[in-house]
Amino acid sequence: MSGHKNKYMELALKEAEKAALRGEVPVGAVIVAGDSGAVIAVASNRVMEDRDPSAHAELLAIRAACAALGSERLPGCDLYVTLEPCPMCAQLISFARLRRLYFAADDPKGGGVENGPRVLHASSCHHQPEIYGGIGARPAAQMLKKFFQARR
């Protein structure tokens, strides 16, 4: 990783670590104002904590960013997330009109961007952000592997 992408993905990885410490699947997300580089929202998975199967890091970060900006759309914003978004989150990314998506580790089983249904590539998708995968993939994948090995 290099430059600003490194800084934002590192912040997302720190959020993922916080999730792991709470017993959540370690996924972290950061939303950044694309032009200024200001961090608008950070979040990590809270599925178990909130007793909410939709409490994925991406969804929580998008909600917080929309609240902070007073808008239902985030067209000038970029999302950094430590794991390829699932189909639910991929659709939400489209609905939120995020400008760019940066993700770290691929998710061959549950992904919805480059794996699985490839939601953002479907002809029915209303908005496709620029997509950049593999940013900081190794540390994110290692964190996930370690988390799931400890649960077995």
Is residue 125 predicted with pLDDT exceeding 70?
yes
Catalytic residues: 58
Residue 109: inside a domain: yes
Q: Answer whether residue 118 shows pLDDT above 70.
A: yes
Query: Residue 35 and residue 150: Cα distance in Å, rounded?
Result: 40
Task: Judge whether 132 lies within some domain.
Answer: no
CB-based contacts of 124: which residues, under 8 Å, 6+ apart?
none
**pLDDT given at position 6:** 87
CATH number, domain at 59? 3.40.140.10
Residue 134 falls inside a structural domain: no
Q: Is the confidence at residue 1, as pLDDT, over 50?
A: no
- Number of domains, the chain: 1
Residue 151 vs residue 18, higher pLDDT: 18
34 is a domain residue:
yes
pLDDT tens-digit readout, 35-50 = 999 999 999 999 999 9
Q: Is residue 44 part of a domain?
A: yes
The pLDDT of residue 5 is above 90:
no
Give the range of the structural domain holding residue 60, as residue numbers without chain letter. Answer: 7-127
Instruction: Report if residue 141 sits inside a domain.
Output: no
Which pTM value belongs to this model? 0.95
**Is residue 56 annotated as involved in ligand binding?**
yes
Can you tell me which residue has the tokens 């959020």?
Answer: 15
* Residue 152 pLDDT level (bands cut at 50, 70, 90): confident
Is 121 one of the annotated binding-site residues? no
Task: Give a yes or no: residue 149 inside a domain.
Answer: no
Q: Is 77 annotated as a binding residue?
A: no
How far apart CA 109 and CA 125 sit, in angstroms, is 21
Q: State pLDDT tens for residues 59-86.
A: 999 999 999 999 999 999 999 999 999 9
The stretch 118-136 carries a mean pLDDT of: 95
CA 113 to chain centre: 11
Chain CA centroid to CA 3, Å:
19
